[in-house]
Chains A and B, each alone.
Chain A
Amino acid sequence: MRILIIEDSSLFAEILETFLISKQCETKISSSLQAAKDQLIISSFEFILLDNHLPDGNGIDILPFIKSLSCKVPVMMVTAEDNQALMSEAFEKGVDDFLVKPISVDLLWQKIQRCRRLYDQSEVVNLQTQELENLLNQRKQEENLARYVYEYTTASLSHNTQYVDTYIQSSSSFNGDAFICNTAPNGNLFAILADATGHGLAAAISILPLASTIKAMIRKGFSLAHIIHEANKKLNIELPDNKFVAIIGIEINFNKRELQLFNGGMPDVILLKTDHSLERYSSRSMALGILEPEVFDPKIVVVSLEAISNLFFFSDGLIEQQNIAGKPFSMHRLLETLKRYDYKESLVSCVVNEFTVFNGMAELLDDLSICDLQIKSLIDSHVYNKPKLIAANKGKITVTLEIEGGLIASTDVVGYLDGIMRSADMVGDLRQRAFTVFAELINNGIDHGILNLDSKLKNDFSGFFEYLRLKKARLTELGPDDKLSMKFAFCPNTAQIDFEIIDSGQGFDMNKDNSVCIDGLSGRGMDLVKKLCKTVDIVAPGNKIIVNLKSNR
């Protein structure tokens, strides 16, 4: 311990110094106030012994200077004066202890140690307080960041949909419930309410990745069963064993006039029928994230939309919430409220009012979510808001096309036919197959019909070149007698294409063996056409081909 002795009696100072050195202390002696100040400015001490009578003033007067030092150091006055007034003043000015001469060095040593220990302890406390403050600041910053991400993600979950009412209240700044509502590409409406175990940030963290996955899957047109299965798989992998997510999933199919309902670990979903009766749908599956994907079998119920006015569902925070008297809101009270519902205000505000009156000022124990789908109004708006009428008989489109002369070489007929197919809303597989068939038939008509090129030429490598050279040359010689005629017809109701093509060539010998050798270099075109079409007719003398393609769907 480094100790400063402020003492003008050199004898007494020396006695103190000798004693303190024997106690493994390092000492400095200052014989005046000024000398002490100089010493304190240039070096730091862990203890100060202070005499009151000094040549340049009273020891007590240096106390404000000592207390103003950045390094806090205990001070003990050692003086011959046994004066209570002085003692009192010294304590007021911040002296830590007092000893009256003549002193017992052992008592001095005990007092020094005790004083120093108190300082050390308070220093530790100060450090800990500082650390705690830093941690609290850091936590606040992290929480702010998490809140920002959370709010950003949840804000985009649910589009403000007419006739879908919700009320969501968090028990803390983060919500472990999430409501997702969106329309799929096929027009089906999805409403999904998820409730993660616990509440606050821990629950919100379980919900966030799930919510964005579900949202994306709805947008991509996945079915409810597929979405639930995928969500369970994701949570099973990503969440720790003691965390899971209860969920209600509803997919409304307006065209089929039915809805699919999944309830995994949530309170009963309640149907309000137009005759004011209630129907309850209990949870029939485990909450998500518990079972392995292989054994998880989501039980989805199909319910007809007829005679339903509202579909009401909520998280358990509603019925389990206790008021100040310790009574839960309860399913019973909720059912009574629903039975009394008179359709004058929205169902959600009716239930929220009842709940608020019941709960009074009691603190919310869990996150609370309430949702109401106004099924009847949703159906009505769906019927009247249809963008365009889809006729039962979609009709037929027919294109006839004739090209002659040089344009045969340069016209992109296949691309043109593809454009017709696209504009008639033709779907993928049929259009792709038709594209290949048209390309084969048109090439076939040009190469072997009009240009009279022998495909046998392509049977060896040099022949490939010869074939190309001849084709190039003959294409430049096309005249008004060279013709290619086509007729294309598509009927959406039967999903069939009829196509015929006539070239001005001489036809070919239809009786010869046209079977293809597997590693032959040519002759696959017609084989391909036959495999892709329902029927293929080659009309004598072989320059007219009629095909029919049908959609696989």
Chain B
Amino acid sequence: MTVKTNISDDKKVLTIVIEESFEFSQYQIFRDAYSEIDVIGIKFILDLSKAAFMDSSALGMILLLKDHADKLSGELIISKPSVMVNKILEIAQFHKLITIQR
């Protein structure tokens, strides 16, 4: 798993790109990508377009990110999951909790 981040010029949007697989073993790197951010009203975009695989613990990690966004009165958007990853998100009923842009 590779985690890349990109913050917009106005510091209001943080894009987190997950490459290869999204799984628990790299929890620390994933958490480091956003834990220092404290901008009120921030928008997190979790770009999963390059993630071929996701396991169930990644679902927990997404909820932690969502919790962080909620604390900052911000927003979390999951962007472009692959067919398989989207299926996992659907099984977990994440579309009821988080905006998923296909």
**B63 within 8 Å of A (CB atoms):** yes
| Docked pose: A244 CA to B64 CA in angstroms | 59
**A528 within 8 Å of B (CB atoms):** yes
* Contact between B63 and A439, CB atoms less than 8 A apart: no
| Docked pose: A468 CA to B26 CA in angstroms | 10
With A436-B84, A524-B92 known as contacts, the answer to whether A443 contacts B55 (CB < 8 A) is yes
**A518 within 8 Å of B (CB atoms):** yes
Q: Which of B26-52 contact A (CB under 8 A)?
A: 27-28, 31
* Contact between A461 and B64, CB atoms less than 8 A apart: yes
Indicate which residue in B31, B55, B83, B91 contacts A439 across the interface (CB closer than 8 Å). B55
- Nearest B residue (CB) for A468: B27
Q: Which residues of B contact A432 (CB under 8 A)?
A: 83-84
Write the B68-86 contact mask toward A (1 if CB under 8 angstroms, else 0).
0000000000000001100
* Contact between A522 and B91, CB atoms less than 8 A apart: no
Q: Which of A472-519 contact B (CB under 8 A)?
A: 518-519
Q: For the side of the interface on B, what is the size category? A: 20 to 34
With A436-B84, A461-B64, A468-B27 known as contacts, the answer to whether A524 contacts B59 (CB < 8 A) is yes
**A189 within 8 Å of B (CB atoms):** no
| Docked pose: A524 CA to B24 CA in angstroms | 13
- Nearest A residue (CB) for B31: A464
B59, B64, B96: which has the most chain A beta carbons within 10 Å? B59
**A305 within 8 Å of B (CB atoms):** no
Q: Which residues of A contact B60 (CB under 8 A)?
A: 458, 464, 521-522, 524
A463 CB → nearest B CB, Å: 10
A525 CB → nearest B CB, Å: 4
* Contact between B53 and A435, CB atoms less than 8 A apart: yes
With A518-B97, A519-B97 known as contacts, the answer to whether A458 contacts B92 (CB < 8 A) is no
* Contact between A528 and B97, CB atoms less than 8 A apart: no
Q: Which residues of B contact A524 (CB under 8 A)?
A: 56, 59-60, 92
**B1 within 8 Å of A (CB atoms):** no
B20 CB → nearest A CB, Å: 12
* Contact between A525 and B84, CB atoms less than 8 A apart: no
With A432-B84, A436-B88, A528-B92 known as contacts, the answer to whether A519 contacts B63 (CB < 8 A) is yes
* Contact between B97 and A525, CB atoms less than 8 A apart: no
Write the A160-202 contact mask toward B (1 if CB under 8 angstroms, else 0).
0000000000000000000000000000000000000000000
Q: Which residues of A contact B54 (CB under 8 A)?
A: 436
A431 CB → nearest B CB, Å: 10
Indicate which residue in B55, B57, B93 contacts A518 across the interface (CB closer than 8 Å). B93
Q: Which of A68-123 contact B (CB under 8 A)?
A: none
| Docked pose: A285 CA to B32 CA in angstroms | 63
With A518-B96, A518-B97, A521-B63 known as contacts, the answer to whether A443 contacts B88 (CB < 8 A) is no
With A436-B53, A439-B55, A522-B57 known as contacts, the answer to whether A528 contacts B91 (CB < 8 A) is yes
* Contact between A521 and B64, CB atoms less than 8 A apart: yes
| Docked pose: A432 CA to B56 CA in angstroms | 15
Indicate which residue in B55, B83, B93, B97 contacts A440 across the interface (CB closer than 8 Å). B55
Q: Which residues of A contact B91 (CB under 8 A)?
A: 527-528, 531-532
B28, B57, B84: which has the most chain A beta carbons within 10 Å? B57
Dominant SS among interface residues on chain A: helix
Query: Total number of A-B contacts with CB less than 8 angstroms?
Result: 54
With A525-B55, A525-B56, A528-B56 known as contacts, the answer to whether A468 contacts B97 (CB < 8 A) is no
| Docked pose: A440 CA to B60 CA in angstroms | 14
Q: Which residues of B contact A519 (CB under 8 A)?
A: 63, 97
B72 CB → nearest A CB, Å: 15
With A436-B84, A525-B57, A528-B92 known as contacts, the answer to whether A464 contacts B63 (CB < 8 A) is no
Q: Which of A430-474 contact B (CB under 8 A)?
A: 432-433, 435-436, 439-440, 443, 458, 461, 464, 468
Q: Which residues of A contact B67 (CB under 8 A)?
A: 461
* Contact between A439 and B53, CB atoms less than 8 A apart: yes
| Docked pose: A435 CA to B55 CA in angstroms | 10
| Docked pose: A525 CA to B55 CA in angstroms | 8
| Docked pose: A435 CA to B67 CA in angstroms | 29
- Nearest A residue (CB) for B82: A432
| Docked pose: A524 CA to B91 CA in angstroms | 9
B5 CB → nearest A CB, Å: 19
B27, B54, B55, B88: which has the most chain A beta carbons within 10 Å? B55
* Contact between A443 and B27, CB atoms less than 8 A apart: no
With A468-B28, A518-B96 known as contacts, the answer to whether A436 contacts B55 (CB < 8 A) is yes
Q: Which residues of B contact A443 (CB under 8 A)?
A: 24, 55, 57
- Nearest A residue (CB) for B66: A519
A158 CB → nearest B CB, Å: 36
Q: Which residues of A contact B93 (CB under 8 A)?
A: 518
| Docked pose: A449 CA to B33 CA in angstroms | 31
Q: Which residues of A contact B56 (CB under 8 A)?
A: 440, 522, 524-525, 527-528
Q: Which residues of B contact A461 (CB under 8 A)?
A: 64, 67
| Docked pose: A433 CA to B54 CA in angstroms | 11
Task: List, sorted by A's number, 5 A–B pairs whose CB atoms are closer than 8 Å.
Answer: A432-B83, A435-B53, A525-B55, A528-B88, A532-B91
Name A's B-contacting residues (CB within 8 A). 432-433, 435-436, 439-440, 443, 458, 461, 464, 468, 518-519, 521-522, 524-525, 527-528, 531-532
Sort A-B residue pairs by CB-CB distance and give the 5 closest, nearest first: A525-B56, A521-B60, A524-B56, A531-B91, A432-B84
Q: Given A436-B88, A525-B56, 4 more contacts at CB 8 Å?
A: A436-B84, A464-B64, A521-B60, A525-B57
